[in-house]
Amino acid sequence: MNLRDIDVFNAIMISGGAGAAATLLDTSQPAISRSLAKLEAELGFSLFDRIRGRLVPTREGQLFHAEVRANLVGLDRLKLRAAQIKEVGAGAIRVASLSALGHGVVPRAIAAFSRKHPQVRVSYQVRTSNVVRDLIASGSFDIGLAADEIDTSGVLHSVFTTPRAVCVMPERHRLAQRSVITPADLDGEAFLALAPEDTVRLAMDRIFAEHAVQPRIRVETPYGVTIAILAAQGLGIGLVNPFVIADRMIGGIAVRPFEPSVHFRALLLRPPDGANSRLVADFTSELFAVRNAFSVAD
């Protein structure tokens, strides 16, 4: 059977008759009748009963139309995808990032990339590191940035950046007078902590235990940007990735180094069988350029 005959059958079903189907498909009624007869012969059963000049769907016809509708949805998706490919011309690129790099580094890279490739569509999501990893492993996305606590099996990965953690606190916090924050300074302090599985959180827990200090954890969150915002609201002090605050988008906070040093570690992820296209290579170059610019600025 061919797609034209299926289209004729579907047109009859949705329009109610051969004449209406002919109008819908901009063809003649005899052509509709020939196509329908051909399809019924190939199927080996009648799709319609002919009752007083009208086409009434048989039970088999109704069942077959349910299958046709399901498959036409897939064809509509193909048509939509073809239209998208035509619209973007040179293609598309799909990027996912953890929050720490998702609001400063990656948007700047997207802007630089888009200026050079104005016809390329960028699909961008900010998700947790585990979700980013899954999007890359499944091949749904082309490039990902994730924290190093993820399971790296099933993805290509390399180190993207290892920035030193900094303390953020309300700008009028008493510790804002210090040039460096130490573990002893945080004993009993209201603390904004990263999620328990975060590698920096694990490192901080070890440091606190070694120095016999115990901050008062007020909030736990996987997002450094949330810690910075809560610090600006006066809820406490916390450690964040410096890329979170590099754009100075969050006011009302003081930023100080922490000793001993603790480092975040972000990975650049690629699908295991992903094509190393020119677009992917160009976007990766923009990511490194922005990372380097932020590092110099810091």
Q: Which amino acid is at 227?
A: I
Query: How many Cα atoms are found within 13 Å in the side-chain-facing hemisphere of 178?
Result: 18
**20 is written with which tokens?**
């209406």
Question: Between residues 296 and 226, which one has the greater pLDDT?
Answer: 226
CATH architecture of 3-88: Orthogonal Bundle (1.10)
Can you identify the CATH homologous superfamily of domain 92-162+265-297? Periplasmic binding protein-like II (3.40.190.10)
Asked if 256 and 175 count as a contact pair (C-beta separation under 8 A), the reply is yes
Can you identify the CATH homologous superfamily of domain 166-257? Periplasmic binding protein-like II (3.40.190.10)
The domains of the chain are located at 3-88, 92-162+265-297, 166-257
Residue 25 CB coordination number (10 Å): 18
Asked if 189 and 237 count as a contact pair (C-beta separation under 8 A), the reply is yes
Report the alpha-carbon distance of residue 167 to residue 213 in Å, rounded: 16
Mind listing the pLDDT tens digit for each residue in 40-77? 999 899 999 988 888 999 999 899 888 888 777 666 65
Section 129-143 average pLDDT: 92
**Per-residue confidence at 180, pLDDT binned at 50, 70, 90?**
very high
Residue 247 has pLDDT above 90, yes or no: no
pLDDT given for residue 89 in this prediction: 44
Report the alpha-carbon distance of residue 212 to residue 277 in Å, rounded: 52
**Per-residue confidence at 163, pLDDT binned at 50, 70, 90?**
very high
Report the alpha-carbon distance of residue 124 to residue 274 in Å, rounded: 17
Report the alpha-carbon distance of residue 31 to residue 125 in Å, rounded: 50
Write the DSSP symbol of residue 103: T
Asked if 170 and 254 count as a contact pair (C-beta separation under 8 A), the reply is yes
Q: Would 92-162+265-297 and 166-257 be classified into the same CATH topology?
A: yes
Give the predicted TM-score (pTM) of the model: 0.64
